[in-house]
Structures are given as C-alpha cells and as structure tokens.
Structure 1
C-alpha cells in the first residue's frame, strides 16, 4: 500500500466547518479517489464519524472542527497516515497506538510515568516521524465494555490527559503480573480485541517453565536448551545433581536475577550454595544434598523454582558473560534482531543483570575479551543471531499469545556452543540500549511503531 501522511489542522466552528464536515487536500482526494460532497465514514481507532469531505488546495492536511477533534483525541499538528477504502466508504487516519503502563504520577509533570517517561517521549517522537499517534494509560483507566479510554499523550511540549477511542494497536508494558492479571485489565484486552478488532501484543509475561516446556516440543530447538524442569521434589534435585556438577534454581516468575541459587558439588562431596542478592552472593556450604534440600524447603513452599543444568560459560577476568538479544517484529511483520549486547557479571556476583552489578559491552568486544578461542569468535556471533531468531519463532509457534518483541538471554560455553537461558516478554527499555547517551530515537523504538503500523494496516 502506498502510504500518505497528513497533518491535522484544527479550526473553530464556522458555517463552513462543522462536526460533520472535514477539509482535505485536493491532491490526496484525487490520489485516494475520495468522494466529495456526500457522506463517508471518518475512522480513527475505534471511533467512527459520518462526514462530508470538502477538497481544498492545501498541502497534505486534514482540517477539522475543534469539537470533532476533541471527540477523537486529535491535537493540532498531529502527523498521521491516511487511506480510503471505497468498498466500505471509510477514510481512515492513524494508527492510534495505546500503551498499557503500570502507573502514573499525576503530580509530576516532568516524569508522569516515572522511569519509563523518557521511553514514552521517545515513542511519541517516533510516532510523529512515522505518522502515528500514541497514548499511555494505567490499569485504573482500563474497563471491560469501554468505548473509549482516558489516556496521556505528548503534544506541543507537554503531557496531557484526554479521551481517546480504543486504539488500533495495544502494546502491553505493564511491569507486574499483579497488574496484568487484574480482572478489569484482562476484560479490557479481551473486549478491545473482540469488539473493536484491536491488535494486542506482548499480551502477557512468560514464566521459565512455560518457555522451556513449549520449546521442548520443537525438536529443532533442543540443542539450545539446557536440561531444565520445574523443581518438584528431592528426587528431582538428586537426579539432576547426579548428571550435572553445577545446578541453578531460578524462580519461575523472577526477573533481574532475583532469587537465583547456584548449587555446586565439590570434590569432597559437600555442596556449596550461592544465593544471589543485591550486594553480591551469599555463600553457604552444606555437608550433603539432603541438607541443601532441607535448607531450601521454606523457599520452595512460597516460590516455584526451575531447576536448570549449570553451564561452563565463557568468562572475562573470571567473570561470566552472557548475551541479551532484542528480537522484534518490524514493518513487514517478520522477526529480526535489533541488537545483541554482552553482559558481564559484577565481581561479587554470578548473574549478569545490570541490577546486580553487571556491565554491558558490545557483543564483539565481549567475545573478543572472552576465554573463547579466536577461531570460534567469528562464527559465534552468527550462531547467537540464528539461535535468537529460531527461539523467537519457536515461542510464536508453540505459545498461543501475540508477541512483537522478546528479550532472549543466551549463553556461550567454552566450546562455543550457544544455550538459551531465558526469554523475557517485557524486555527493559534501558537494559539493551546502545552504549551511548545521544538523545536520538533508538532503532528498537522505531521498530515498535513500524510493527504497530503493520498490524493496523497503515
């Protein structure tokens, strides 16, 4: 489809321009064969309004009455795509993208969304670039059977709250399972899809057990999967310990490296456990595996853990390295690698998350500094890229939810083999940024808008 962008021009009520009349550039009227002087449907998000189009010699502009603009949530100067479908007599402008966010700090005009405010502004800038509009709303504004949503948008240098139609595309950036599982939030997503045809992506959090069980169904992915199960009893711990000298226990709903436990069998048949915490790792030695299990029994009652084979990871200066691949869908609706960064564990930690003292390095630099042999380094980057794409496609095939971006954590062992550590359906908007502070729109943010435009058929 040939894409046409227009600027929104809002005017006060006049005898020429009322709520049911819009003025459109003559060139666009001709290009899209928009009928003039009889009624068609103007659509923005879920909102529809019967209007009459008047052509005028104005450049790339849609001029409309202030009352109609307010009803639609449009602001002066908004840049949107436009197309006309003669079969349905519908002139569509958009897309309107809605972003579900965890909270709004109404008293903070500079940072209304806290830590993700900079990302929200960047996404708004990307929308202006690509001809889209974005609004942001927390769980309290989501309701089943809603015909509109109260949301925040950025225009003319500031954030403001107004009423919008149900968006064409909804991007779930809720940062807790508690918010995501609220009845009103689930009903809002369900109704937006079924009643208004909205596309909702990154619909839910993934847990570690779900990911590994799903990917295990595809034999072509088995080589990436360390042996990994939901820990159910002592017998399973004993069985895994007989096969692997190092084991990891990971909370199945955990993130940022919280709560990870490393169990290592020593030559004298004792077991050393390292417990990840913010200040480093607490170390404790146990005389037997039974003693380890007894010490963990309290944790196992309150939290479910994934038990996973320990890997002999490449290191730099004795610190383990792993990799975060950001895999996103873009303008053609296909998975692609946006970025891969190396993550080097902090000196007192065995996990690489930035929240646990880890540092970022460009992928080639991380591989170059590593214990991996020089001959393996060149092919390892290609293998990292291929594995990330294979895993993203596997998630899409095996899990019945819609994802548009995934953070895929990968490891490389000392033989150069690539392993999957975990998949994150809410990749941080800071954790995988390019290693500079330039204030320009990141490729990862552009991809979100281009994919939304693809979904909305603009």
Structure 2
C-alpha cells in the first residue's frame, strides 16, 4: 500500500552523521508504513535515485553526500513524500518541471506575462509538499542528469541546480521556437532520460480537422474546412458559403485570421492589425483571389465555412472549454466560458480585447433568446470530454490540457471550431478571472503529482441499500 505524508528534511555533513547508511527516517514513519530496516530503500528526487541503508530515529535526516547526489537542497524545509512499499521506494516532493520559452530581462517579471501563472504553480506545489522548477531549453544540461532552474519562495526567485523532474509540462509559447531542430533535440533528450513530457507540441489546425472529421453527429457539427491550395480553393468555398474564415494552420490567439463575406458579386475581407479591424472591398472573386494568394504566400492556411454565430450587443460570441486531467489521470472539465469579441472584431480572443462571460450568461443574454440553454450546456460538457478522449487516442505524444472552442449558431446548433494544446496562461487569459489560485493551476498540480507517483485512491460511490 502506498501512502503520502509531509516531513521536515535535515541534511548533515557526512562526518557528523549519527548513523551508518546515510539515512535516518522518523520512527513514526517507519511504523506507519511497516518498513523493516534489514534492507536498504531507494530514495528518489526527480529522476535521481540512490539506494541507502537507514535507521529509525526522531527525524528525517540525509547525509550531505547523498543529498548532493540527489541535488536536494532541502535543509530544514518541509517536503511531501510518497512511500511505495512494494518497490521499497521513498519519493521526495514531488519535483514538478515547467519548460518555459525564455527568461525576461526584468527581475520582477522573470517569465514575462507568464510570471503570475508561474508563481501560482510554485506556491500551490510547495503548499502540498512539492517543488516546481521552471527552466528553459538552455538550462538543460547535456553533460549530466541535472538541470539549472528557478524556484519561487518567500516572494522571490532564486536559481539553483535540480535533478531532471520526472514530469515536465511544456509551456514553450512560440511555435517557431518549438519547431526548431535544436529545441526538438533538447526535448528528445528529456524523454530519453525518462521524463513524462506532456502537451507535446502546438497543434496544426488541418491535422485536427482530419483527425476529428468523423466525429460529427446530430448534436455537434464541424464547419466544412479545406486546405488552401491556391485561388481555386477560394473559388470553390466562396461558391458554397456566403461567409468564410481563412486561418493559418499554425496560428494562435486569433493572429493571421481573415473573414470574407459575399455581397452580391462583391466581397468584403476583414482582418486584425494592431488591435483594429481592417476592412477592404473587392469587386470580384478574381480580385479577391489575387490578394489572398499574395497575402498567404508559401504559408499553410485552411479555408473554413463561416457560421452565423449568436451575438451579444452586436459582438460575436464563442465558447472555450478548458479540459484537463485530474488527480486520477482522468479528463475533467475545469471551465467553460463565453468569449465576446470587441465591437466589429472578427475574433473573440481575450488576448485581442475580448471579454469573458459565464457560459449560461452568454447564452441567455445573446440575441437569440429562444435558444435551448440547458441542452446546449449539456452538449458542450459532454462533447468537450468526448473530444479530449478521442483526440488523445489518435494523437502522438502526451496531452493533459486542451482548450476546445465551440460556437453556437442562431438555430441552437453547437459547432466545434478547433482544439488548442497551449491555452493561454497570461494575465488576461480565461483562467485568470478568479481570485486566489486559479482552478487550472490546481488541476495542473493534481495531474503532475499523480504522474509522479503521488496517486490518490479512486473515490468509490457508496453502495445503495
């Protein structure tokens, strides 16, 4: 049986250590877990492991040389631990890793607009006996199993050496950086060491369309989407639908999106630039096609059927479901919110000025008061979990957090727009609209602890009598 506890860890110089073997465990701990001291146990911190003989005593003590091997700077600090009786393994922490894009030039906002998120992760992890270490690609040591990283404690950041964490959450925020050969080599190095690396990469819109296109049914729909292969792709789609969205397959945060509307033989094309909506008119589809082809160039785009979305005070509304794995490794819904775009905007992203609405509030206050709100809410919740499971089954790599975007048309049909593997964690993001530790951070820590071996027993439903 595996149990979890908290204890203060003391590190003593080898020559002052009061017992052979290098480890003293509290008698209470030894009794609770029925650990016999006739055999050594394996002490683990991150991916570092050392086998030590131990003696029972009054407190938890580790000799300095063993602590140095584990890269454990813990003297006098309280840690959680998890004892696996079958393996005779004692895991300290756990140590949670967050891979970041880069460091900021300012000491206060060390990770730029992600700093507040990082502080929350650090504080929540520490409150549960763990440690969260934040590191960049440059801080991965290719010559040893250690990394250099940053921790946050007592309102300040400090840098130190740590063992490679077993569980690492990928928060690289740049597609370009993530796709570089050097980046992939560092990520593969982590995986080769045995790291559980999750939210493997940014997702490609066209790949998602291909993966999920067979999931359409009577309760959820996908906008018809095709890969842009030149002006003929535009001509075909414009002949089918009066409104189109043209999107980069590798885009995020609403960047690079264009909306096209047909008015008789003329076309209006809109896109965002410097926070404003730019509108241009084209007198023919040929003229529009030339512009679009020049604008796209060699980049990869998709053309997607436009939907007559419900609106709120004239602004478009869509919905973001944040789906994460929990302390049992199961997909759960953390939140579903409405996102209202700025006036005249073609996108609703909060990063471009959109605002957050409660799910029901967004539906009930829309310009379509006849909508079956209860049914729509039920469909979104059900399908958010279903899509997460189906996506994971077909995806390469590990994923434990997804942003799934829904839309609702004026007839009440629910549409899936896209799936995002890197939901924003910046100060303006959906998850930062609550006081205290945001629920998404709590769930992130739950899953990282679970994946690191700190597993909860699944709750059993009470039997009916």
The alignment's TM-score, normalised by the length of structure 1, stands at 0.92
1:260-279 mapped onto 2 (5 Å cutoff): 260-266=257-263, 268-279=264-275
Q: Distance in 1 between matches of 2:348 and 2:37?
A: 61
CA contact (8 A) 2:219 2:379 kept: no
2:326 pairs with 1:368: no
CA contact (8 A) 2:37 2:53 kept: yes
Q: Deviations over 1:136-170 (max 9, x none)?
A: 10121135564111111123442211111111101
Structure 1 equivalent of residue 103 of structure 2: 104
Q: Deviations over 1:80-112 (max 9, x none)?
A: 22213444x43222322111001123x644222
- Please provide the CA RMSD for this pair: 2.2
Q: Distance in 1 between matches of 2:414 and 2:40?
A: 60
1:211-250 mapped onto 2 (5 Å cutoff): 211-218=208-215, 223-250=220-247
1:130-209 mapped onto 2 (5 Å cutoff): 130-144=128-142, 146-196=144-194, 198-209=195-206
Q: Distance in 2 between matches of 1:297 and 1:454?
A: 48
CA contact (8 A) 1:96 1:133 kept: yes
Distance 1:94 1:68, change over 3 A: same
CA positional deviation for 1:201: 0.6
CA contact (8 A) 2:339 2:349 kept: yes
The number of residue pairs the alignment matches comes to 449
State which of 285, 290, 294 in structure 1 corresponds to 2:281. 285
2:328 pairs with 1:315: no
Structure 2 equivalent of residue 25 of structure 1: 26
Structure 1 equivalent of residue 352 of structure 2: 356
CA contact (8 A) 1:215 1:221 kept: no
CA positional deviation for 1:453: 1.6
CA positional deviation for 1:129: 2.9
Say which SS state the counterpart of residue 224 (structure 1) adopts.
coil
CA contact (8 A) 2:231 2:290 kept: no
CA positional deviation for 1:130: 2.9
Structure 1 equivalent of residue 5 of structure 2: 5
Q: Distance in 2 between matches of 1:368 and 1:405?
A: 28
Distance 1:131 1:401, change over 3 A: same
State which of 253, 257, 260 in structure 2 corresponds to 1:256. 253
2:50 pairs with 1:52: no
Q: Deviations over 1:187-208 (max 9, x none)?
A: 3332333333x21110100011
State which of 115, 122, 125 in structure 1 corresponds to 2:123. 125
Say which SS state the counterpart of residue 418 (structure 2) adopts.
strand
Structure 1 equivalent of residue 44 of structure 2: 43
Say which SS state the counterpart of residue 297 (structure 2) adopts.
helix
Structure 1 equivalent of residue 439 of structure 2: 443
CA contact (8 A) 1:142 1:184 kept: no
Structure 1 residue runs without a partner (length 5+): none
Q: Distance in 2 between matches of 1:372 and 1:392?
A: 29
CA positional deviation for 1:186: 2.0
